[in-house]
């Protein structure tokens, strides 16, 4: 893969940095990767190879490129770190490669920036994770500390790629940001749009297992003229973390000497995060957890029916706070709603499990029953499936599919 | 636990910072903990409580203290990182319900904006020599991460040779290596390990000891590199019954950073053989390797497991005969037969370090050594047990091409 023509320009009144990405070892067509923002942040866009390199290494790895070549000099610490990130991916998701992906770039003599800006930013979606990260930052860092968040970043082009929905979210979060002494910086990028359609057919494996952290980090690097660090709010807590694309072990490897990527808030469970923000009125009123974007309208960003909304509503209920927020269409949760909305996966189990006790203490045994029923059904399905899977695997590996053939014969003869 | 009376004072031709450590929830006696260095480096010692916070927190946690109260200011980034480090360490080593000590400080401090200056920990071992070599190969001299200072600690490896004269001699020898690489070697003397000197705890405590020593010198340093013992494929990321992660770990060490001082865990993509190969091309490093378990920082005995393993690696890269660091210029099968590597409780399995030597040694025609290495690995994995299991294993291997062994690992 070659990254060339790194330039800054203007498009429709917005400043942008862009680069041409050309694939060398697969049939994908070349494309222009860009990062754009609003005019007032024009000076903050960093026309360096770093955002493009960080944003392209993981796709290059995933699609089997032999190298990522950049003609401009890069930070030696970033080069070392990206080499670490590649090694982590190779270890977590081993594939048949003769050689690891190579970063083909010379290192620069000095850092990109002249000195620190002493500004820290974070990715702000309005969800429980990012609100709890902000809350924690405000509780722990004095205003004069370089780690005190001064800027929040809202990204168009990752999960959120509907312009109208993006505007609703921006309109909702802008006043919140001002209230919390933050600048809100929107960034528009096609870093994932290039792959999204094809990834959707593959259950978003590429996004979740590979690209997530590096995509966020590349957006951060695009603002390195302004920021010394960017924080990513962890989705999972420490025991829950499994190898995937946004991980406390991986994300710091997207850092350069003068720009740090931090993965935070993974020592708290989701319910602990809900409790952390539940006595923070402005957060409570402005939570946005729903990813069903076509249900968004101005001022109403949570559908109140999907799995994520219902789970969050239950957490707020357990914390005694659902009635105090108008962020959701209803201020109660019914067993029927839970039964309809709950969709268990292994990564979601701890989030439900931790609600059982507080819901019980809150006198909502009806909801506890729904959760327990759903978990029982999930474990039953897992156990059956695991046995079947094991037998299939044994048959394939040691018996050359004889059991499968026998089963087919038996089924066809019994018909 | 309470940290108080943090002072800086001159003692003879050294300068030291001290703190009084009082236990609140244990009957352990109050101690005065110190970090000390030679007078010429004394201005590098900080007056902040950070070295003591980082050095005392894990013993406080280990002994069930409810809090760590600090009579002084604390960087919020360090406080945050220590909380994360404790969570990881508890997840790996302790009961998940063991409570974590609360850190209480008088105030939160901001950033001092010092000029950038990079340091690293130097023992003369393969890992730290490779860290320095890699730094020189990858970072230009004007880059803020170009290492300028090395730290060598007296008081950390209390199981090895602790004679002050041995340490003094080692500092002198290793200073020649660092001078050649344009690095100033600073000795740090500390008794921090005496808070909990047990050997098993050391494997959890190591990263914190190093970081605390670096924080002691944070008037000078803005970053410090800790050489990785593992590379990524051998790194233990999750708690395992058989091999626990080592307490100096890429998930732990960076959490000992403050805004003023970054702690970096380096060298994760290089195996031990890769590192040996790098050092083999660097004469000063090659002649001054110090790996010996019993004798560090003294002369390499050439007989202990670590010495023999390192000699084998040097042999594999055609450099053992060129090095003055070991008493012998070759390795005999008897030397391998005489060592034992038990199943590790912490960190990586050294089996991986031996496995990667097999092909290079075979290419050099050293089948005699490879056979002994195979036996050594078998011994370490308990594969030489006598009895019916051993016989069945042999039958499986000889007549069934390992069918049952494969089936067992597949099912597991």
Per the model's pLDDT, the better-predicted residue between B155 and B266 turns out to be: B266
pLDDT digits (tens, 9 = 90+) for B63-73: 999 999 998 99
Closest CA to B14 of B44, B36, B43, B46: B36
CA max distance for chain A: 79
Q: pLDDT band for A385, please (50, 70, 90 cuts).
A: low
Rg (CA), chain B: 23
Q: Pick the more confident residue, A291 or A56.
A: A56
pLDDT at B34: 97
Is the pLDDT score of A409 beyond 90? no
Percent of chain A residues topping a pLDDT of 90? 78
Digit-coded pLDDT (tens) for B325-371? 999 999 999 999 988 776 665 555 677 789 899 999 999 999 999 99
Residues of chain A with a CB closer than 8 angstroms to some CB in chain B: 76-77, 79-80, 83-84, 87-88, 90-91, 107, 109-111, 116, 118, 140-142, 144-147, 238-239, 248-249, 252, 257, 264, 266-267, 390, 393-394, 397-398
Q: Which of A90, A109, A393 sits opposite B143 (nearest CB)?
A: A109
Looking at per-residue confidence, does A244 or A398 come out higher? A244
| Percent of chain B residues topping a pLDDT of 70 | 92
- Average pLDDT on A98-118 reads 86
Tens of pLDDT, residue by residue over B300-326, are 999 999 999 999 999 999 999 999 999
Q: What is the pLDDT of residues B83-141, one digit of tens each?
A: 999 999 999 899 999 999 999 998 998 777 789 999 999 999 999 999 999 999 999 99
Of B76, B233, B237, the CB nearest to A147: B76
The pairing of strands B2-11 and A120-123 is: unpaired
Burial of B249 (0-12, 13-18, 19+ CB in 10 A): buried
Question: What's the pLDDT band for A415 if we cut at 50, 70, 90?
Answer: low
Tell me the average pLDDT across A133-147: 95
How many Cα atoms within 13 Å fall on the side-chain side of residue B140? 11
Beta-carbon contacts of A151 under 8 Å, excluding residues fewer than 6 positions away, are: A119, A120, A121, A122, A182, A183, A184, A185, A223, A226, A227
Separation CA A202–CA A196 (nearest Å):
10
Q: How far apart are CA A39 and CA A16, in angstroms?
A: 9
User: Which one-letter DSSP state was computed for residue A405?
Assistant: H
Phi-psi region of A46 (alpha: psi -120 to 50; beta: other; left: phi over 0): beta
Residues of B with CB under 8 A from a CB of A: 76-77, 79-80, 83-84, 87-88, 91, 96, 108, 110-111, 113, 138-140, 142-145, 231-233, 235, 237, 250-251, 254, 259, 266, 268-269, 403, 407, 410-411
pLDDT higher than 90, residue B203: no
B244: confidence class by pLDDT, cuts 50, 70, 90: low
| Among B343, B58, B395, CA closest to B204 | B58
Mutate to test the interface with B, among A79, A80, A81, A249 (most CBs of B within 10 A): A80
Q: What is the 3-state secondary structure (H, E, C) of B282-311?
A: CHHHHHCCCCCCCCCCCCCCCCCHHHHHHH
Give the gap in angstroms from C-alpha A278 to the nearest C-alpha of chain B.
21
**Per-residue H/E/C for A208-234:** HHHHHHHHHHHHHHHCCCCCCEEEEEC
3-state DSSP: chain B helix, strand, coil percent, rounded to 5?
A: 40, 20, 40
Q: How confident is the model at residue B242 (pLDDT cuts 50, 70, 90)?
A: low
Phi, psi for A331 (deg, rounded to 5)? -115, 25
pLDDT at res. A349 = 92
pLDDT, tens digit, 9 for 90 and up, residues A309-333? 999 999 999 999 999 999 999 999 9
Report in angstroms the alpha-carbon separations of A333 from A322, A325, A344, A366, B346: 9, 13, 18, 10, 48
pLDDT of residue B159: 79
Please tell me whether the overall predicted TM-score, pTM, comes out greater than 0.80 for this model.
yes
Measured on CA atoms in the order A398, A402, A403, A405, is the torsion positive or negative? positive
Kindly report, residue by residue over A332-344, the tens digit of the pLDDT: 999 999 999 999 9
| pLDDT interval class at B161 (50, 70, 90) | confident
The band of B39, judged by pLDDT with boundaries at 50, 70 and 90, is very high
> Is the pLDDT score of B240 beyond 80?
no
8 A C-beta contact, residue B78 and residue B254: no
Q: In this predicted model, what pLDDT tens digit does every residue of B215-226 receive, in sequence order?
A: 999 999 999 999
Closest CA to A248 of B214, B123, B237, B193: B237
Q: Please report the pLDDT score of residue B202 as a whole number.
A: 87
**pLDDT at residue B67 in the model:** 97
Arithmetic mean of pLDDT, A378-398: 77
Q: What is the pLDDT of residue A397?
A: 75
Mean pLDDT computed over every residue of chain B = 89
Read off the pLDDT of residues B175-190 as tens digits, 9 standing for 90 and up.
988 998 999 999 999 9
Token pair 């002050």 is at which residue?
B164
Residue of higher predicted confidence among A16 and A98: A16
* φ, ψ (nearest 5 deg) of residue A19: -150, 155
pLDDT, tens digit, for every residue of A210-240?
999 999 999 999 999 999 999 999 999 998 8
Residues 6+ apart with CB under 8 A from B337: B372, B375, B376
pLDDT of residue A116: 87
For the stretch A143-180, pLDDT in tens is 999 999 999 999 999 988 889 999 999 999 999 999 99
Check: CB of residue B224 under 8 Å from CB of residue B44.
no
Let me know: does B306 contact B344? Beta carbons within 8 Å: no
**Cβ-nearest to A144 among B88, B110, B407:** B110
Helices (H), A141-286: 163-179, 193-201, 205, 212-222, 270-278, 281-285
Is residue A128 within 8 Å of residue A136, measured between CB atoms? Answer: no
List phi, psi (to 5°) of A34. Answer: -135, 160
From B236, which residue of chain A is nearest by alpha-carbon distance?
A: A91
pLDDT class for B157, splitting at 50, 70, 90? confident
What lies within 8 Å, CB to CB, of A31 at 6+ separation is: A20, A21, A190, A194
* ipTM confidence: 0.87
- Report whether pLDDT(A407) > 90: no
């Amino acid at each position: 893969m070659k990254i060339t023509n790194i330039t800054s320009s203007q498009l429709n009144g917005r400043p942008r940095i862009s680069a041409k990405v050309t694939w060398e070892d697969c049939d994908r067509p070349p494309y222009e990767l860009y990062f754009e923002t609003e005019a007032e942040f024009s000076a903050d866009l960093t026309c360096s190879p770093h955002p493009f390199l960080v944003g392209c290494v993981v796709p290059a790895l995933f699609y089997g490129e032999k190298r990522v070549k950049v003609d401009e000099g890069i930070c030696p610490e970033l080069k070392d770190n990206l080499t670490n990130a590649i090694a982590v991916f190779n270890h977590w998701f081993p594939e048949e490669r003769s050689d690891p992906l190579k970063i083909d770039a010379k290192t620069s003599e000095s850092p990109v920036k002249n000195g620190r800006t002493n500004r820290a930013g974070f990715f702000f979606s309005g969800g429980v994770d990012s609100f709890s990260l902000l809350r924690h930052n405000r509780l722990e860092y004095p205003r004069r500390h370089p780690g005190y968040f001064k800027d929040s970043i809202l990204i168009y082009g990752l999960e959120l790629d509907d312009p109208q929905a993006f505007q609703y979210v921006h309109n909702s979060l802008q006043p919140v940001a001002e209230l919390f002494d933050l600048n809100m910086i929107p960034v528009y990028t096609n870093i994932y749009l290039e792959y999204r359609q094809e990834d959707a057919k593959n259950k978003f494996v590429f996004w979740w297992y590979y690209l997530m952290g590096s995509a966020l980090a590349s957006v951060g690097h695009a603002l390195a003229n302004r920021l010394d660090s960017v924080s990513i709010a962890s989705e999972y807590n420490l025991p829950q973390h499994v190898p995937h694309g946004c991980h406390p072990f991986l994300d710091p490897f997207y850092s350069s000497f003068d720009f740090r990527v931090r993965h935070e808030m993974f020592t708290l469970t989701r319910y602990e995060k809900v409790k952390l923000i539940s006595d923070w009125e402005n957060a409570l009123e402005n939570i946005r957890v729903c990813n069903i974007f076509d249900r968004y309208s101005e001022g109403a960003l949570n559908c109140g029916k999907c799995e994520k909304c219902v789970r969050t509503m239950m957490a707020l209920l357990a914390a005694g706070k659902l009635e105090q927020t108008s962020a959701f269409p209803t201020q109660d949760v019914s067993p029927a709603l839970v039964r309809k909305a709950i969709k268990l996966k292994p990564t979601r189990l701890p989030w439900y499990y931790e609600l059982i006790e507080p819901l019980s203490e809150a006198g909502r045994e009806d909801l506890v029953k729904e959760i327990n029923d759903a978990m029982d059904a999930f474990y039953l399905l897992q156990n059956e499936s695991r046995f079947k899977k094991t037998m299939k695997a044994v048959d394939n590996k040691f018996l050359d599919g004889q059991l499968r053939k026998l089963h087919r014969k038996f089924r066809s003869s019994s018909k | 636990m309470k940290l108080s009376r943090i002072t800086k004072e001159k003692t003879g031709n050294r300068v030291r910072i001290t703190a009084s450590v009082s236990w609140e929830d244990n009957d352990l006696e109050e101690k005065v903990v110190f970090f000390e260095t030679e007078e010429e480096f004394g201005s590098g010692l900080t007056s902040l409580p950070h070295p003591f916070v980082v050095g005392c927190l894990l013993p406080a946690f280990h002994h069930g203290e409810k809090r760590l109260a600090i009579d002084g200011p604390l960087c919020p980034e360090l406080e945050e990182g220590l909380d994360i480090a404790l969570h990881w360490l508890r997840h790996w080593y302790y009961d998940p319900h063991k409570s974590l000590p609360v850190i209480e400080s008088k105030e939160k401090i901001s950033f001092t904006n010092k000029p950038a200056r990079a340091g690293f920990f130097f023992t003369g071992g393969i890992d730290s020599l490779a860290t320095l070599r890699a730094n020189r190969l990858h970072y230009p001299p004007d880059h803020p991460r170009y290492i300028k200072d090395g730290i060598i600690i007296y008081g950390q490896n209390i199981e090895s040779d602790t004679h002050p004269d041995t340490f003094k001699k080692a500092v002198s020898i290793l200073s020649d290596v660092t001078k050649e690489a344009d690095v100033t070697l600073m000795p740090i003397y500390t008794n921090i390990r005496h808070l909990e000197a047990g050997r098993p705890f050391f494997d959890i405590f190591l990263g914190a000891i190093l970081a605390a020593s670096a924080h002691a010198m944070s008037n000078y340093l803005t970053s410090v590199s800790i050489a990785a013992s593992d590379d990524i494929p051998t790194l233990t990321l999750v708690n395992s019954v058989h091999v626990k992660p080592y307490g100096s770990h890429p998930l732990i060490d960076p959490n000992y950073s403050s805004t003023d001082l970054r702690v970096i865990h380096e060298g994760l993509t290089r195996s031990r053989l890769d590192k040996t190969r790098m050092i083999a091309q660097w004469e000063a490093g090659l002649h001054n390797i110090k790996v010996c378990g019993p004798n560090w920082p003294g002369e390499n005995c050439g007989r202990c497991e670590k010495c023999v393993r390192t000699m084998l690696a040097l042999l594999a890269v055609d450099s053992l005969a060129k090095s003055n660091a070991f008493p012998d210029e070759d390795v005999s099968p008897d030397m391998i037969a005489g060592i034992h590597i038990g199943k590790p409780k912490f960190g990586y399995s050294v089996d991986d370090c031996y496995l990667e030597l097999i092909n290079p040694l075979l290419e050099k025609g050293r089948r005699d050594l490879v056979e002994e290495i195979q036996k050594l690995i078998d011994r370490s994995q308990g594969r030489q047990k006598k009895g019916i299991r051993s016989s069945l294993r042999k039958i499986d291997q000889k007549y069934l091409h390992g069918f049952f062994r494969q089936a067992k690992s597949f099912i597991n």
